[in-house]
Amino acid sequence: MRSRIKLIAAFFLAFFVLLVIRLAYWQLVKGGDLSSQARNQYESQNVISAPRGNILVNDKTWLVARGEAFLVFAEVPKIKLSPKEIANKLAPFFLENADDKITLLQEIDRIETLLKKKGLVWVPLKQKIAPDVKANIEALNIEGIGFERVEDRIYPEASAAAHLLGFVGKDVEGKDIGYFGLEGYYNSALTGKPGMNKEEKDAKGRTLTIGDTQEISAIGGVDLLTNVDKTIQLLIERKLKEGVEKYGASGGTIIVMNPQNGAILAMTSYPSFDPRTYWEYGDEYFKNPAISFTFEPGSVFKIVVMASALDAGVVKPDTKCDICTGAYKVDKYLIETWNRKYHPDSTMQDVIVNSDNVGMVYVANKMGADLLYDYLNKFGLGRLTGIDLQGEVTPKLREKGTWNVVDLATASFGQGIAVTPMQMIKAAAIIANGGLNVTPKVVNKLMGKDWEEEIKTVDGERVISKQAAKEMTAIMVEAARNGESKWTSLQGFKVAGKTGTAQIPISGHYDAEKTIASFIGFAPADNPKFIMFVSLKEPKTSTWASETAAPLWYSIARELFTYLGIQPEN
Amino acid sequence: MIRKQTKKSVLKPIIWITGLFLLVLAVFTMIESVTTGAELTKILSDKAKYTQENQDLANDLIKSSSLNQIGDKADILGYVKPTNIVYVAKESGFAAKLP
């Protein structure tokens, strides 16, 4: 009897030891894994995405707005239908044009391949589908297909102002990031900071109030209130497209700015891209020509050189040119006028009105290379303008002290020197506003939930005297009225303007037929409300700016006068 | 001996009452907790619904602010841009001359 009791006791003891060992195994060895598995069952952790900021025009309506889209995914274990059946059902919703049979078959094949991949539990099928498409897919009630809300951008004006805006793409980690334009320049401010939400749930997915709950709120990106005027923006886009078609140009750029404070009212270039479908375009479309296209400006540049000479006091508006009797030889080159007509004893006003290259050589000779260099530097040439857009470039000025007589002569009429359209309009804006430096500025304010901050620039430094600016403006008014583009000018309005027909340098020489035609002008001349730069690349109907860029400028100005309330002089 | 018996008979109902009270309290707390959890879930679901509604309204507002669309509608409704603008000069004031 006793031995039986001992046996049972030993059995229980052994069982107890085994139990302790097993428990120790679950607790000490497997404890971590089991704990995390359990946590996964009752804990849920979500990233709260920070909404990206809006980009607003000056009346606080939207150019780009934050919106929502959905990621379509498949939870493979929950799928009841075959991959082929699911692919057949979903593919038409994933395509813009489901009528294209080849594309449809390719999409079906893509989805099926994704669903057949082994070892995957959660498979993303399509990025950023619209809410109405999501509703249509939901109506199909396909088990195992789910949706995740993601940030998207809404463009109420479609592809308008694409170069100005840039676009939102993905970085190497698959996160949204802004490229080019405002999206690129203000990416950090627009992005905000994502938050996190952690809570414990019961078996039915209800939140446990006694559970561990943590929430870190997302900080939304700030809104950008720009100086852009939507009416003017849409107007110049329409006009540029019409102008490019009418004059057979290969492209063009228009910038409208307030010369008093540098506010960019509108900016466009053609050809452009659609930020909603940016991946369909090559990289060359993304660069904004207004800030990245460098060109030899030609005669529009004469206003900068003449304004410098007037400020330096080396010439006066009525100073007479004593070399304007004919073509002028500089080193081994012969400088001619554009129409080979010469005007002896031209005043400086006549030199600009007739766009006289020889007259400009006279002015440059009076100044000398070093003084001209100093003025060009003060006008901001050879440096970035500081505009708040990603992708600005600048051609360098030839170094001071290295200019020879030919460099000086050609620079005086805008050859052998390169600028961007933005640099050119900035320099002309200095003349328009009475001689003060301005920094082109797209964004006026950053706007948070309960705060706003104005974007300030350090401006106001005097570049040329008020008197010199006034004299130059008067000369430009005469140039607009009586220059080669007088046929297209608007009677009664006091416009200060200048045409420029620049030749395109190709491998060491200038192309005989291809030009860049431009016109820069401001109005009303005495107290300008806007300054506008128009350029057309390689126009075919005429190579001259007076017959292409100038009429385009005036056709836009005609509408701007009404819109901005600019009245005729008398 | 009598005192001991009396003490026991007093202690027993106190233990029972306390135990019963704690049991009721535990059940009540659990019910409250579950109810609050359910309410919280409903609030969160309502929040998501209203956020969605808000987003839909914002989308409508954004779409309706599109100048391109307004321009198209204006054309359909027969609005035309003036082709000839007439500027009227304001007459300058004058003082009547005394006789």
Kindly determine whether residue A157 and residue B36, on different chains, have CB atoms separated by under 8 Å.
no
- What are the chain A neighbours of B46 within 8 Å (beta carbons)? none
Kindly determine whether residue B36 and residue A209, on different chains, have CB atoms separated by under 8 Å.
yes
Kindly determine whether residue B44 and residue A68, on different chains, have CB atoms separated by under 8 Å.
no
Instruction: Decide: residue A79, CB within 10 A, 0-12 exposed, 13-18 middle, 19+ buried.
Output: middle
* pTM (2 d.p.): 0.85
Does A480 map to a domain? Answer: yes
Kindly determine whether residue A156 and residue B62, on different chains, have CB atoms separated by under 8 Å.
yes
pLDDT band at A151 (very low <50, low <70, confident <90, very high): confident
Q: What pLDDT score does A515 carry? A: 93
- What are the chain A neighbours of B87 within 8 Å (beta carbons)? 567-568
Helix (H, G, I), strand (E, B) or coil at A112: helix
Q: What pLDDT score does A378 carry? A: 96
Which one of A156, A158, A567 has the shortest CB-CB distance to B87?
A567
Q: What pLDDT score does B37 carry? A: 80
Torsion angle of the four alpha carbons A363, A367, A370, A373, in this order, in degrees rounded to the nearest 10: -50
Q: What pLDDT score does A406 carry? A: 95
Rg of chain B, C-alpha, whole Å: 41
pLDDT in tens, A199-232: 777 776 666 766 777 888 889 999 999 999 999 9
Q: Which domain holds residue A246?
A: 230-564
Which one of B41, B55, B71 has the shortest CB-CB distance to A68?
B55
Kindly determine whether residue A207 and residue B41, on different chains, have CB atoms separated by under 8 Å.
yes
Which one of A131, A157, A568 has the shortest CB-CB distance to B87?
A568
Least confident of A387-396, A513-522, B89-98: B89-98
Peptide bond into A271 cis (omega under 30): yes
Which one of A67, A207, A561 has the shortest CB-CB distance to B40?
A207
Closest CA to A289 of A428, A425, A412, A171: A425
Closest CA to A473 of A495, A492, A493, A488: A495
The average pLDDT across A86-105 equals 90
Cβ-based neighbour number of residue A261 at 10 Å = 18
CA A347 to chain B, closest CA, distance in angstroms equals 35
Q: Are residues A137 and A234 part of one domain?
A: no
Among residues A150, A176, A200, which one ends one of the domains? A150
The average pLDDT across A240-251 equals 97
pLDDT in tens, A263-295: 999 999 999 999 999 999 999 999 999 999 999
Mean pLDDT of chain A: 92
Q: What pLDDT score does A68 carry? A: 86
Q: What pLDDT score does A173 carry? A: 84
**How many angstroms separate the CA atoms of A368 and A366, rounded?**
6
Burial A183-217 (b: 16+ CB within 10 A, else e): bbbbbebbbbebbebebbbeeeebbbbeeeeeeee
Q: Mind spelling out the 3-state secondary structure of A325-373? A: CCCEEECCEEECCCCCCCCCCCEHHHHHHCCCHHHHHHHHHHHCHHHHH
Q: What pLDDT score does A23 carry? A: 92
The average pLDDT across A341-348 equals 93
pLDDT band at A174 (very low <50, low <70, confident <90, very high): confident
Q: How many CB pairs under 8 A join A and B?
A: 53
The average pLDDT across A462-481 equals 97
CA of A61: which chain B residue's CA is closest? B65
Does A51 map to a domain? Answer: no
Domain total of chain A: 2
Q: What is the DSSP string of B2-51?
A: HHHHHHHHHHHHHHHHHHHHHHHHHHHHHHHHHHHHHHHHHHHHHHHHHH
**How many angstroms separate the CA atoms of A87 and A90, rounded?**
5
- What are the chain A neighbours of B37 within 8 Å (beta carbons)? 202, 206-209
CA of B33: which chain A residue's CA is closest? A209
Cβ-based neighbour number of residue A41 at 10 Å = 11
The residues, ordered by sequence, that sit 6+ positions from A23 with a Cβ below 8 Å of its Cβ are none
The average pLDDT across A34-43 equals 77
The average pLDDT across A430-434 equals 97
Asked if pLDDT for residue B96 goes beyond 70, the answer is no
Kindly determine whether residue A209 and residue B66, on different chains, have CB atoms separated by under 8 Å.
no
- What are the chain A neighbours of B34 within 8 Å (beta carbons)? 202, 206
Residue whose entry in the numeric block shows the structure tokens 């294209």: A100
pLDDT in tens, A395-404: 999 999 999 9
Q: What pLDDT score does B93 carry? A: 62
Kindly determine whether residue B62 and residue A562, on different chains, have CB atoms separated by under 8 Å.
no
Q: What pLDDT score does B56 carry? A: 87
Q: Mind spelling out the 3-state secondary structure of A409-473? A: HHHHCCCCCCECHHHHHHHHHHHHCCCECCCCECEEEEECCCCEEECCCCCCCECCCHHHHHHHH
Mutation pick from B87, B90, B92 vs chain A, by most beta carbons of A within 10 Å, is B87
**How many angstroms separate the CA atoms of A190 and A221, rounded?**
4
If phi > 0 it is left, if psi is from -120 to 50 it is alpha, else beta; for residue A496 that is beta
Q: What is the DSSP string of A43-99?
A: EEEEEEPPPPPPEE-TTS-EEEEEEEEEEEEEEGGG--S-HHHHHHHHHHHH-S-TT
The average pLDDT across A546-559 equals 96
Q: Which H helix or E strand runs over A133?
A: helix A131-140
CA of B59: which chain A residue's CA is closest? A67
Kindly determine whether residue A209 and residue B87, on different chains, have CB atoms separated by under 8 Å.
no
Kindly determine whether residue B62 and residue A208, on different chains, have CB atoms separated by under 8 Å.
no
Asked if pLDDT for residue B98 goes beyond 70, the answer is no
Asked if pLDDT for residue A247 goes beyond 90, the answer is yes
Kindly determine whether residue B67 and residue A230, on different chains, have CB atoms separated by under 8 Å.
yes
Asked if pLDDT for residue B2 goes beyond 60, the answer is no
pLDDT in tens, B50-81: 988 998 899 899 989 999 889 888 989 998 88
pLDDT band at A488 (very low <50, low <70, confident <90, very high): confident
Asked if pLDDT for residue A242 goes beyond 80, the answer is yes
Asked if pLDDT for residue A512 goes beyond 90, the answer is no
Peptide bond into A524 cis (omega under 30): yes
Look up the CATH number of the domain holding residue A116. 3.30.70.2110
Contact A233, A442 (CB under 8 A): no
Kindly determine whether residue B68 and residue A160, on different chains, have CB atoms separated by under 8 Å.
yes
CA B70 to chain A, closest CA, distance in angstroms equals 11
Report the DSSP pairing between strands A496-506 and A223-226.
Answer: unpaired
Among residues A127, A150, A173, which one ends one of the domains? A150
pLDDT band at A177 (very low <50, low <70, confident <90, very high): very high
pLDDT band at A321 (very low <50, low <70, confident <90, very high): very high
Asked if pLDDT for residue A110 goes beyond 90, the answer is yes
pLDDT in tens, A531-542: 999 999 999 999
Kindly determine whether residue B67 and residue A157, on different chains, have CB atoms separated by under 8 Å.
yes
Kindly determine whether residue A68 and residue B89, on different chains, have CB atoms separated by under 8 Å.
no
The residues, ordered by sequence, that sit 6+ positions from A33 with a Cβ below 8 Å of its Cβ are none
Q: Are residues A377 and A515 part of one domain?
A: yes
Which one of B37, B67, B87 has the shortest CB-CB distance to A207?
B37
Cβ-based neighbour number of residue A286 at 10 Å = 23
Q: Are residues A241 and A101 part of one domain?
A: no
Among residues A121, A150, A179, which one ends one of the domains? A150
**How many angstroms separate the CA atoms of A323 and A99, rounded?**
71
Residue whose entry in the numeric block shows the structure tokens 């893509």: A110
